[in-house]
Amino acid sequence: MAGALASAMLFAVPAAAQDSRLSLADRVARLEQQAQNQDQGGIGMVNQVQQLQAQVQQLQGQIEELQHQLQGLQDKSKSQYVDLDSRIGRLEGGAGAAAGNNNPAANATPPAVNTPAAATGKGKAPANQAQPATAASTAAPADAAGAQAVYDAAFKSLRGGEYAQASRGFRGFIQQYPDHALTPNAFYWLGESYYATMNYPVALETFQRLLSQFPQSDKVPDALLKVGYSQLELKQTDAAKATLKSVTTKYPGSKAAGLAQERLRRVQQPGN
């Protein structure tokens, strides 16, 4: 009986060891399977990240393309606007010159100087006294043509994006022809040249000078609009809102009023 019990115990020990070995092998296999699943999951995550990166790059390319198209449209619109203003300016200058030529007071011969010789009839007035009138009559058209040439040259620089040269040209025009019909326009485009180069303080000052010196100019609505724009760029938000609102109230129905209203909506949106 004792021998049989011992034999049974000897056979039971290898069986238990075998079960332990099998259990350990199963555990190792299970761990290997989990590691494999994790590797596959990691690869899947990497693939998803790569796909997202590719989509982001594609969207960035589309955004850049749209920005380029928008910039092209803006440049085209500005060029057309500048060209239209240039034509209007030339017409205004030509109309002013024609008005001067058709003005009887401008073409009338100055009255004779009441010199003693003329009063007594014993002599004639010196011949050189008639020369200033002749010189003035010939110098006026030449001066008008010179003013137009200076303005056109500055305007051409502005259209070409040569803003520094344009600002020098318009400043020279204003200094040389402070009372010319195109001087308000020169002030406006001088301010535009500063605004385009983000020199907002000087642009604001230039537009304000136009408003104060030429309050009856056709450029006043646009100049007032650009005052508001410049104030926004300078973070003068309250003043800018007041300025833009004044554009809509003073010049309703104008293009400047529409742009002012649109800018006000954008400023008043949450987050702006």
Higher per-residue confidence, 111 vs 99: 99
pLDDT score of 50: 75
The helix (run of H) or strand (run of E) holding residue 256 is: helix 255-268
Q: 3-state class of 177 per DSSP? A: coil
Q: Taking the model in full, what pTM does it have?
A: 0.53
Here the CATH number for the domain that contains residue 175 is 1.25.40.10
pLDDT score of 136: 39
- 178 within some domain: yes
pLDDT score of 107: 38
Query: 199-223 as b/e, with b when 16 or more CB fall inside 10 Å?
Result: bbebbbebbbebbeebeebebbbbb
Place 66 in a pLDDT band, splitting at 50, 70 and 90.
Answer: confident
pLDDT score of 133: 40
Domain total of the chain = 1
- 179 within some domain: yes
87 residue type, one letter: R
**d(C-alpha 234, C-alpha 208), whole Å:** 15
Q: 3-state class of 114 per DSSP? A: coil
Q: What is the mean pLDDT of residues 114-131?
A: 38
Q: Is 143 exposed, middle or buried (0-12, 13-18, 19+ CB in 10 A)?
A: middle
pLDDT score of 234: 96
Place 24 in a pLDDT band, splitting at 50, 70 and 90.
Answer: confident
CB 212 within 8 A of CB 196: no
Higher per-residue confidence, 194 vs 71: 194
Containing domain of residue 168, as a range? 146-268
